[in-house]
Amino acid sequence: MIELERVAYTYGGAELFADLSMTLAPGSFHFLTGPSGVGKTTLLKMCYGELIATSGMVRIFGQNSREMDRDQIALARRRIGVVHQDCQFQDHLPMAENVALPLTVCGRQEEADEYLSDLLAWVGLSDQAGQLPPQLSGGERQRAALARAVIMSPEVVIADEPTGNIDWEMSQRLLTLLVELNKMGKTVLVATHDLNLIRAAKTQVSARVLRLRGGQLQAAGAEL
C-alpha cells in the first residue's frame, strides 16, 4: 500500500531522519511510537503526500509521491483516511458536514445521506451532528475525525495521536473502532506515545510496533 525506501526528511537545515524504510502491507496494523518531536507526524505526512521526502522514495499505492501531480495526490488521499493530530475541521460547518466532507469534495454527497447517521452512531456522536467543531469536546472531535477518516471506506487509515485528548475508557473505544476497521481489511497506521494503548491493542490484533528514535526506525519487541 505505502512504502518508504531510504527516506530522509529535513526541515530547513534540521535533518529529522536520514535513512528510513517502512512497508505497510495490505491489511496490516502498525503502531508508530517515539518521543515527542521525533518526527512521527512528519513521517505520516509523507505517507499521504502532504510532505515530499527530501531524498529517498515514498511509494503511495505504487506511485512515487515525488512524481505525482496535485490531482493524483488528491485522488490518493481519497483512498487514505487520516485522523490528523489537530483534527483539521472546517469550523464554520456543523460536525456532520465535516464528517461528510470527503464525499462532498468528490461530488458524492448523496452517499453521505446513506452512511452518515450509521457512522455517527458507530462513533457515538449522533446527538452532536449539528454542533460546530469548536463546540465539541476533545474526545468528540477525535471521534468525529475518525468518522471522517473512514467515510470514504478508504483502503488505508492513518491516525496521528487519536487518543491524545481523551480518557482511558474513550481511548479503548477508539482503539476498538480501529481494530474493527482492520478486521474489515483496512491497513491501519497509528502514531501514539500511549504505551498502554499499544499493550491493549496487542490483545485484540496482531500489530507491529515501530519505534522512531534518533532518526532510526526500529521494530519494538516483547518489552511492550
Ligand X SMILES: Nc1ncnc2c1ncn2[C@@H]1O[C@H](COP(=O)(O)OP(=O)(O)OP(=O)(O)O)[C@@H](O)[C@H]1O
Binding segment (CB under 6 A) for ligand X, from list 36-44, 53-61, 107-115, 182-190: 36-44
Residue type, 64: N
Instruction: Give yes or no for residue 102 binding other proteins (CB under 8 A).
Output: yes
Name the region of 161 (left: φ>0; alpha: ψ -120 to 50; beta: rest): left
Instruction: Give yes or no for residue 42 binding ligand X (CB under 6 A).
Output: yes
- Asked whether the beta carbons of 4 and 56 are under 8 A apart, the reply is yes
Instruction: Give yes or no for residue 41 binding ligand X (CB under 6 A).
Output: yes
Instruction: Give yes or no for residue 143 binding other proteins (CB under 8 A).
Output: no
Q: How many residues bind ligand X (CB under 6 A)?
A: 12
- CB-CB neighbours of 153 under 10 Å: 12
Binding segment (CB under 5 A) for Mg ion, from list 23-31, 81-89, 122-130, 145-153: 81-89
Smallest gap from Cβ 174 to other proteins, in A, equals: 20
Dist CA 182 CA 66 (whole Å):
28
Binder of residue 82, out of ligand X, other proteins, Mg ion, none (CB less than 5 to 8 A by kind): other proteins
CA angle 66, 69, 74 (to 5 degrees): 105
Instruction: Give yes or no for residue 162 binding ligand X (CB under 6 A).
Output: no
